Structure 1
């Protein structure tokens, strides 16, 4: 009898041990909005500790129906995965040892030294780029983020666009044709250029010497201290669900502080129209206004500014309004209180100096505290893709702002 009891106890202990080798993640939604596809983060140390896994072991994430969910382990040792949570409800996910299924890459990017040090990235919905030191060395002024439109596919497209635009053999052929047959040269150029829509979108957004599609910059009085191009870049995450890049900028002089260095951490998750960006400024000695700006390409454009609810939007006419390029919706959202938001037009002198057709900015301004991190979200949509109207975009942005101000809560057991 004693042996039978010990056997049962051993079996129960093994069963309990097996049962304990799962991690239960409960995701609660504090809002009355359905929350689909938002990325949940769990510290990898919690997972490995609870599962008692070796560093080389693999894990899987499954939903309440036992279906595998795509995940990524980020540079800062977090397990991230998309969660779907009903309004004012909760959802449960399980992490355990196992062999994950192959999931498609939905967020990725690359450094392009061959294109004056661009860094360009995308997810299944949108694409962006920022400019580097080789462009700055050329004398061209481009301070802000660039927006590339994307539709008809959830696959990565940016690398193929660069390959077409920069192919040396094609460029040489175009150069030769320009000498003898300019029309044929133009046709060949258009067949490979990313400024032409070949069925999945194009680059039809004009940045110029402005804040472009949502860049942050310090302000001294009413003057924007433009950050110019990044000095160094480091890609930290490259899919399948999140792209992250760290950008460090050249020193600036701000209000007598002569060595102010800006650092940006930009990340884009699958399924989101907006990038998360955390900005910090070293060697800044006093509280200084920081503005997030969207360039205006018409003085009386379709602008919405809602400081109280934490978002700004603008409907951009694209860089060629007569080319059937549609409308680009641009916006920024803020987890923290925005001090003020509105439209600022350039003076005649500024407009002449910029020479880029820009009329001003939509600005959201708040105060930056030295030693802190200023976090906000910026991004875009296109009326030829999933968001068709300004009203739909404003609804998306208002909802996004509410979500970042009321994040999903995650409990790990």
Structure 2
């Protein structure tokens, strides 16, 4: 069941109290940054119930919200978001820029809904029936995909072109505009291929039966067990700041345990890490994996701070992958190496709390010019972990 709090980590804390609303005054909020680092491309969620407490901000047909910094007329990009999947917006998203150890005030007002073009939003996801039954998602920095039941059955029936994997594939894009539809069209309708880089990047990340970037497993004695392809999906939203969806899996066995698994996945603008909230039954711990490919990369970990990293040489360039989670859920890590094809993974061992595990996972590709060295990638993960543990704080302005 989709729960109301599935985005509760890594976004702003919403302080739900009222200080009294004067309808002659603008509705203002304060966003505070308690870290000694500048903050940007972090999504703040404002509960719509808080906005509706001011009668001047009651949503009516044809209206939406406008956010701007106090003292500025520039409108910030925002998005109404449905966080529980019931088809109704629950929160208002925006991404402020807040300097280290400081705060800013923002004004929220109503505005007329704008008629948008048919352009694909930068945060985008969809089911892809034309390529068997992939599910793919992307933002302005990274892209991912995973595989559905038709692809699994093709393998089981010995039909060419199938894929048997619950691992997460990385699409190595190096442009800030959407590429999912363009690459599938290139692969399926032209003589070109998304396995070739024509300047936008390419799909050359090998997943196989590995965990790819952030697929899960359950450890049984000295080995790891995992599900097969997803069986159902639902797109929740695509927008300028966030795309989100859920996928479910058939129950699967891990030794004597029966595992029931459902993933809620989101990706925000400006982030190299996609967020997973996994509802899990049948295990008190979960292992989140990063494929080791040729086992020639460098593992870096900081379990106390909540992150692990793998930086590897990859097709004449370099590639970093990583996992971030709250330290109170991080139990350790395992660099699991085997001669079995695709089964060598770096695992983050995470604790299941109240039937769920929340983590962030993604990659940085050197050729995209986002990260040039292992040190830059590890610093990104370390700062991301700090921000997860101390999110921006939002409260009403008095």
If the length of structure 1 is used for normalisation, what is the TM-score? 0.81
How much has 1:250 moved relative to structure 2? Answer: 0.6
1:70 aligns with 2:83: no
1:35 is paired with a residue of what secondary structure? coil
Residue 97 of structure 2 corresponds to residue 91 of structure 1: no
Could you say which residue in structure 2 is the equivalent of 1:290? 286
For residue 55 of structure 1, give the secondary structure of its aligned residue in structure 2: coil
State which of 123, 140, 144 in structure 1 corresponds to 2:167: 144
Q: Judge which range, 271-280 or 56-65, deviates more.
A: 56-65
Question: Aligned partners of 1:62, 1:70: CA distance in 2, in Å?
Answer: 9
How big is the shift at 1:361? 1.0
Contact 1:60 1:100 in 2 (8 A): no
5+ unaligned residues in a row in structure 2: which ranges? Answer: 1-20, 84-89, 156-162
Aligned equivalents of 2:39, 2:103: Cα separation in 1: 10
Instruction: Give the structure 1 partner of residue 279 of structure 2.
Output: 280
- Decide whether aligned partners of structure 1 residues 89 and 256 sit closer, same or farther in structure 2, where only a CA change above 3 A counts: same
Please give the alpha-carbon distance, in whole angstroms, between the structure 2 residues aligned to 1:150 and 1:380. Answer: 11
Q: Are residue 43 (structure 1) and residue 43 (structure 2) matched?
A: no
Contact 1:146 1:212 (C-alpha < 8 Å) held by counterparts:
yes
Change (3 A) 1:301 1:256: same
**Alpha-carbon contact 1:31-1:88 (below 8 Å) kept:** yes
Structure 1 residues 329-338 or 391-400, which shifts more? 329-338
Corresponding residue for residue 323 of structure 2:
332
Aligned residues: 356
2:306 matched residue in structure 1? 310
Answer whether contact 2:312 2:318 (CA < 8 A) is retained: yes
Q: Which residue of structure 1 lines up, in the alignment, with residue 183 of structure 2?
A: 161
- 1:23, CA displacement in angstroms? 2.6
SS at match of 1:38: coil
CA distances 1:185-239 after superposition (whole Å, capped 9, x unpaired): xxx4xxx200111111111100000111111222223322212211100010111
Structure 1 counterpart of 2:129: 113
Distance 1:400 1:409 in 2: 16
**2:145 paired residue number:** 129
The structure 1 residue matched to 2:358, chosen from 375, 378, 392, is 375
Alignment partner, residue 159 of structure 2? none
Could you list the per-position Cα deviations for residues 38-72 of structure 1 after superposition, in whole angstroms to 9, with x for gaps in the alignment? 11000122213313424322221112323100011
Larger radius of gyration between Structure 1 and Structure 2: 1
SS in 2 for 1:398: helix
Aligned equivalent of 1:11: none
Q: CA RMSD in A?
A: 2.0
Q: Is the 8 A contact 2:136 2:144 kept in 1?
A: yes
The answer to whether the Cα contact below 8 Å between 1:297 and 1:317 also exists between their aligned partners in 2 is no
**Aligned with 1:384: secondary structure?**
helix
Q: Which runs of 4+ in 1 moved over 3 A?
A: 99-104, 254-258
Q: 2:371 aligns with which of 367, 387, 400?
A: 387
Moved more, 217-226 or 206-215: 217-226
Tell me which protein shows more helix as a share of its residues.
Answer: 1
> Is the 1:266–1:278 contact (alpha carbons within 8 Å) kept by the matching residues of 2?
yes
Deviation sequence 1:218-266 (CA, Å, 0-9, x none) = 22233222122111000101112101010111111345344x3201111
Q: Are the aligned partners of 2:142 and 2:363 in contact in 1 as well (CA < 8 Å)?
A: yes
2:239 — aligned with what? 239
User: Structure 2: how far apart are the matches of 1:265 and 1:281?
Assistant: 11
Q: Provide, for residues 59-114 of structure 1, a one-character-per-residue CA deviation record: whole Å limited to 9, x for no partner.
A: 21112323100011111311000111111111221110123676983211111012
Whether the aligned pair in 2 keeps the contact of 1:298 and 1:359 (CA below 8 Å) is: no
Distance 2:223 2:352 in 1: 16
Counterpart secondary structure, 2:210: coil
Q: Are the equivalent residues in 2 in contact too, given 1:68–1:100 (CA < 8 A)?
A: no
Whether the 8 Å contact between 2:304 and 2:327 is mirrored in structure 1 is no
| TM-score under structure 2 length normalisation | 0.84
Report if aligned partners of 1:58, 1:97 keep a CA contact under 8 Å in 2: yes
Cα distance, 1:30 vs structure 2: 1.7
Retained in 1: the 8 A contact 2:127–2:133? yes
Distance 1:40 1:54 in 2: 19
Question: Quick one: distance in 1 between partners of 2:366 and 2:24?
Answer: 51
Q: For 2:48 and 2:129, locate their aligned partners in 1 and report how far apart those are by CA, in whole Å.
A: 34
